[in-house]
C-alpha cells in the first residue's frame, strides 16, 4: 500500500449493512473488556469510542502530553509520524501504540487512520476492515490524497475478486479525487494507471505511468508495467 464523483464517500459509509453497524457496536463492547495492554495493539483500541480510549490512556499520560506539546493536534502529528517510523523499522506493535495515541489526541488526524490501515494490511487483516479504517479517515479528511489513493488500491483489489464494474468505477472515483487533491502524488498516478489498465484504456495507462515516473521512480510497479507492455508497447519507448 505504500501505495473520484459518481459514488460519494459518505454514501459508501452510510450504506454499510445494518449487521456491520451492529457488529461494530458489539466490537466496541468487547474491546471495553480487554486488558489495556491488548487493546492498545488493536486499531482504534479495538472499537472504543474516543472518550473510552482517553480513559484507557489515562489522565496522567494525557496531562504529561499536554505539558509537552503546544496542542493535542501537534502532539497527534508527532505520534503519527513516529508510527510510520516504527513501521519502517519493522516494529508493528510500537507503531500501533503510536497511531492509536495519535487518534486519541486528534480523531481528525488522517494519518492515524491510514497508518493503522497500513499496519492491519501488513498483518493480513480482512480487506473489509482495512477499507473501513480508510473510510473512517476519509470521513474526517475527505480530500486527503494518500487516503484516497489507498482506498482506490483496496477497491481495485476488490474488483479483481468481484469483477463488478461498480467496484472499478468506485476505484476510479477515489483516484480521480486523489489527483484533484494533489496532482503531484506519484502513487496516485500509478494507481490511476492500474484503473485505466482494467478499463482497457492502455494508452491512458501509459500516460499515467509516465506521469508517475516523472514524479518518483520509486512509485513504479515494474510487474504491472510488464503486463501493460503485453497489451500495448510503451508509446514513448521508455520501457522496452
- pLDDT of residue 24 exceeding 90, the answer is no
pLDDT at site 27: 44
Of the two residues 30 and 203, the one the predictor is more confident about is 203
pLDDT at site 34: 60
Q: Is the dihedral of CA 171, 173, 177, 180 positive or negative?
A: positive
- pLDDT of residue 74 exceeding 80, the answer is yes
Ranges of each domain in the chain: 1-142, 152-240
CATH topology for the 1-142 domain: 1.25.40
CATH topology of 1-142 equal to that of 152-240? yes
* pLDDT tens-digit map of 32-57: 556 677 788 899 998 888 888 998 88
* pLDDT tens-digit map of 106-119: 999 999 999 999 99
Contacts 24+ apart (CB under 8 A), 229-237: 231/197, 231/202, 232/202, 232/203, 232/205, 232/206, 234/206, 235/203, 235/206, 236/206, 236/210
Place of cell 522496452: 240
User: From 1.25.40.10, 1.20.1250.20, 3.30.300.180, 3.30.450.20, which CATH number describes the 152-240 domain?
Assistant: 1.25.40.10
Amino acid at each position: 500500500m505504500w501505495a473520484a464523483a459518481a459514488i460519494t464517500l459518505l454514501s459508501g459509509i452510510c450504506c454499510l449493512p445494518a449487521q456491520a453497524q451492529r457488529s461494530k457496536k458489539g466490537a466496541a463492547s468487547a474491546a471495553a473488556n480487554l486488558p489495556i495492554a491488548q487493546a492498545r495493539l488493536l486499531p482504534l483500541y479495538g472499537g472504543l469510542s474516543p472518550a473510552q480510549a482517553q480513559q484507557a490512556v489515562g489522565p496522567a499520560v494525557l496531562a504529561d502530553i499536554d505539558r509537552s506539546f503546544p496542542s493535542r493536534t501537534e502532539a497527534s502529528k508527532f505520534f503519527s509520524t513516529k508510527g510510520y517510523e516504527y513501521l519502517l523499522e519493522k516494529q508493528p506493535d510500537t507503531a500501533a501504540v503510536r497511531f492509536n495515541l495519535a487518534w486519541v489526541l486528534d480523531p481528525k488526524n488522517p494519518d492515524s487512520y491510514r497508518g493503522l490501515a497500513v499496519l492491519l494490511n501488513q498483518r493480513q487483516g480482512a480487506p473489509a476492515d482495512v477499507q473501513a479504517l480508510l473510510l473512517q479517515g476519509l470521513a474526517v479528511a475527505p480530500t486527503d490524497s494518500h487516503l484516497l489513493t489507498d482506498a482506490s488500491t483496496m477497491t481495485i483489489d476488490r474488483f479483481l475478486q468481484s469483477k463488478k464494474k461498480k467496484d472499478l468505477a468506485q476505484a476510479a472515483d477515489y483516484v480521480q479525487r486523489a489527483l484533484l487533491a494533489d496532482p503531484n502524488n506519484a502513487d496516485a498516478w500509478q494507481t490511476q494507471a492500474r484503473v485505466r489498465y482494467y478499463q482497457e484504456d492502455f494508452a491512458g495507462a501509459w500516460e499515467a505511468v509516465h506521469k508517475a515516473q516523472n514524479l518518483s521512480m520509486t512509485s513504479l510497479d515494474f510487474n504491472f508495467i510488464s503486463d501493460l507492455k503485453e497489451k500495448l508497447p510503451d508509446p514513448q519507448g521508455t520501457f522496452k
